[in-house]
Amino acid sequence: MSFSYPFSKDWSTNEIVDVVQFFEVIEHAYEKGVKREELMAKYRRFKEIVPSIAEEKTYFRDFEKESGYICYPIIKKMKETTAGAIIKGAGR
């Protein structure tokens, strides 16, 4: 699938890469599942770059428009599960 990832022009190259990797993990969660720890690490890094909840919602919404993947249910599952779990979305 080909689509663009949301990012800010104000971010460094490393920050852009890290945010793209976070969104890729969300994709993987829907496609084949992802380990909770991997998702948690990528989400924590995303939150370092995007600490504002309002901004987070904006980026999540932009990503959903581009890809069809909804971030919130995956993040919610991650927070509700225990270590070692595989997080998998229900599809798009």
pLDDT over threshold 70, residue 1: no
Angle at 46 between CA 45 and CA 50, to 5 degrees: 125
pLDDT (tens digit, 9 = 90+) per residue, 12-28?
999 999 999 999 999 99
pLDDT (tens digit, 9 = 90+) per residue, 25-63?
999 999 999 999 999 999 999 999 999 999 999 999 999
Residue 73, classed as helix, strand or coil, is: helix
Neighbouring residues of 30: CB distance < 8 A, sequence distance ≥ 6: 69, 74, 88, 89, 91, 92
Task: Kindly indicate the confidence band of residue 83, based on its pLDDT and cuts at 50, 70 and 90.
Answer: confident
For the packed helices 71-80 and 13-31, what is the interaxial angle rounded to 10 degrees? 80
**Domain coordinates of the chain in residue numbers?**
13-87
Q: For residues 68-88, give the mean pLDDT.
A: 91
Which overall architecture, per CATH, does domain 13-87 show?
Orthogonal Bundle (1.10)
